[in-house]
Amino acid sequence: MNASIIGSAPILLVRDVVAAANYYRDQVGFTYDELWGEPPSFCILRRDRCHLMLSRVGDPAFIVPHYKVVDKMWNIYFWVDDVDSFYREVQARGAKIDYDLEDKPYGCREFGIQDLDGYDIAFGQNVEDVG
């Protein structure tokens, strides 16, 4: 029997781990238990069954949101089971909405936010699964 991949954790390089972790906690609903390093240089956040890692980078020149390389490209795409509800939640939490909820030609209903370091993070659901 082959081993199974049971999860993944995208990693974002950030200027300030504490500020970024708190943004994802307060505006997006993730949680974290610990910040590692002094000053803090690493954090693992979680929401539901998904994880997100943040690592402090010394030179902000290494922070390159994907949309600066490929037009309208996200750094992370999270699948959600109720995108309309999730959109209302993060909007109410004060997340910076990058683009509003919409049905895309590739079969997803999605929206995007932008974090403190300029990364675009999308949340989507297959259109056929939208209730």
In this prediction, residue 56 carries a pLDDT of 97
Say how many Å lie between the first and final Cα of the chain, rounded: 37
Average pLDDT for the chain: 95
Identify the band that residue 131 occupies on the pLDDT scale cut at 50, 70 and 90: low
In this predicted structure, the answer to whether residue 48 has a pLDDT above a threshold of 70 is yes
Give pTM, 2 decimals. 0.93
Of the candidates 5, 7, 9, 6, the one whose C-alpha atom is nearest the C-alpha of residue 76 is 9
* Domain boundary assignment for the chain: 11-58+65-129
- Residue 7's alpha-carbon distances to 10, 33, 46, in angstroms, are 10, 19, 12
CA distance 16 to 32: 15
Instruction: Name the helix (H) or strand (E) containing 24.
Output: helix 17-28
In this predicted structure, the answer to whether residue 129 has a pLDDT above a threshold of 80 is no
In this predicted structure, the answer to whether residue 107 has a pLDDT above a threshold of 70 is yes
Domain 11-58+65-129 belongs to what topology?
2,3-Dihydroxybiphenyl 1,2-Dioxygenase; domain 1 (3.10.180)
Average pLDDT of the residues in 51-56: 98
In this prediction, residue 86 carries a pLDDT of 97
